[in-house]
Amino acid sequence: MSEHILFLTGRLAEKQLHGILEKMQPEFTYTVHELGLKVAALMTADMIARRLTDTFGADRILVPGRCRGDLEALSKDLGLPVERGPEELKDLPMFFGQAAHKIDLNRYNVKIFAEIVDAPNISVEEALKRAHYYKHNGADVIDIGCLPSTDFPQMEDIIRALKQEGFTVSIDSLEANDLLRGGKAGADYMLSLHESTLWIADEVAATPILIPKKHEDLASLDRAIEAMQAKNRDFIVDPILDPLHFGFTQSIVRYHEVRKNHPGVEMMLGVGNITELTHADTMGMNALLLGICSELNINSILATQVSKHACRAVKEADLARRIMFAAKEHQMLPKHIDPGLMALHEPSPFPYSLEEIKELAAQIKDPSYRVQISSEGVHIFNRDGLHSATDPFDLFPKLHVENDGGHAFYLGVELARAEIAWQLGKRYSQDQALQWGCATDNEESTVDLHTFKPAGTTLKKH
């Protein structure tokens, strides 16, 4: 017997909800019930408890995504599950598709080494501060970077302080003395050894990361691998990722060749040579590089956040590794798993056409302004009419808010958001901040729907 779902909605959305469900032709049966209010977004759990007198034989109830209140308590009172649907009705088909394929993003198999590149120039306290920041954003190992010809008297103190606070630590240098000092101070890993410096691994317990003596010299890397295997020591191999136009493509070929020749060895990819040295948004770069890691079974990356444009590199890599793990595990493309790596664009930026917006505008009987976008531009409407433009300044003379500073300010903010969303191809929802994925720390996305916030200006009576 198929599931029966009760959809609760408002008067303005009722017709559209019926149309969407009819087009979906779902396997479940359903009832659409208008709860006696105009705007579905203003629905609350308390309102449902007061007004809903019949559950129409439903197995569960779906309420608007912005419905506020304690749905768990409401579920207990009604004796059946009450759940929030998507914020936009047009997302219902995707909502039910995702519900059928819930993806777990708690799992990953790539360690992130986050480098403090200027460690010799900072205090122990600052190193600890950065380490906690990197760990908060997903780092598994804190990499202590040494600088050429730069004294580093506080190295041991930094490593010991990090270890005392539970961090896994690596020391990063091509100088033998730095690596020896770091290993003796308790570093768990050391970057990097080649065949001429393998003797350092005999002096300390730290796990070495092996590199070719010269970037293109894979024979030297093969010899270093054989030497470490003969000693039965753990190690990680890094064939070195080169920047674009300085050997990038050939370095990808190197990684593939090393994996082919050594199918079981642990490998590292230094993603910073691309994210730091390419002036483009880093989210896409991290997605692609972690996808390469997933295909080649590379289980460690070295990430840096030096350039200002790479200021979220660790956070982005953390989400990318989870998405790629899930995609590989489920044998699916890395699509529709999580939107966090899409800062500038979205799969479906304009859920409503201009004709649908016109139809909605014709139903409005109050003076409050609604703002929506379509592929044609920005639209604002109330009972007095619909106005459209691609430049919000063209709308101001038609709004008649010259003598209402607060309302004018509010509409300016909303129309600016709408214009940005229209230009970039992003979702716009009135009274909601634009979503920038993991590029920002967006508090709006973590609002507790058990609590209530005041209605937006357009939802208040004037």
Question: In angstroms, what CA-CA distances link 363 with 310, 358, 418?
Answer: 47, 9, 22
Per residue of the chain (462 residues), give pLDDT as tens.
689 999 999 988 898 899 889 988 888 999 999 999 888 888 999 999 999 999 999 999 999 988 989 999 999 999 999 999 988 888 888 888 755 557 889 999 999 999 999 999 999 999 999 999 999 999 999 999 999 989 999 999 999 999 999 999 999 998 999 999 999 999 999 999 999 999 999 999 999 999 999 988 999 999 999 999 999 999 999 999 999 999 999 999 999 999 999 999 999 999 999 999 999 999 999 999 999 999 999 999 999 999 999 999 999 999 999 999 999 998 889 988 899 999 999 888 998 899 989 988 998 889 999 999 999 999 999 999 999 999 999 999 999 999 999 999 999 999 999 999 999 999 999 998 999 999 988 654 444 545 544 445 444 443
Residue 38 confidence (pLDDT): 85
Output the average pLDDT for the chain: 91
pTM of full prediction above 0.85: no
Closest CA to 87 of 444, 458, 416, 359: 444
Q: For the segment 309-318, what is each residue's pLDDT rounded down to a tens digit?
A: 999 999 999 9
Residue 61 confidence (pLDDT): 95
Beta partners for residue 31, in sequence order: 6
Residue 66 confidence (pLDDT): 85
Torsion of CA 359, 362, 367, 370, to 10 degrees: 10
User: How far is it, in rounded angstroms, from Cα 368 to Cα 363?
Assistant: 13
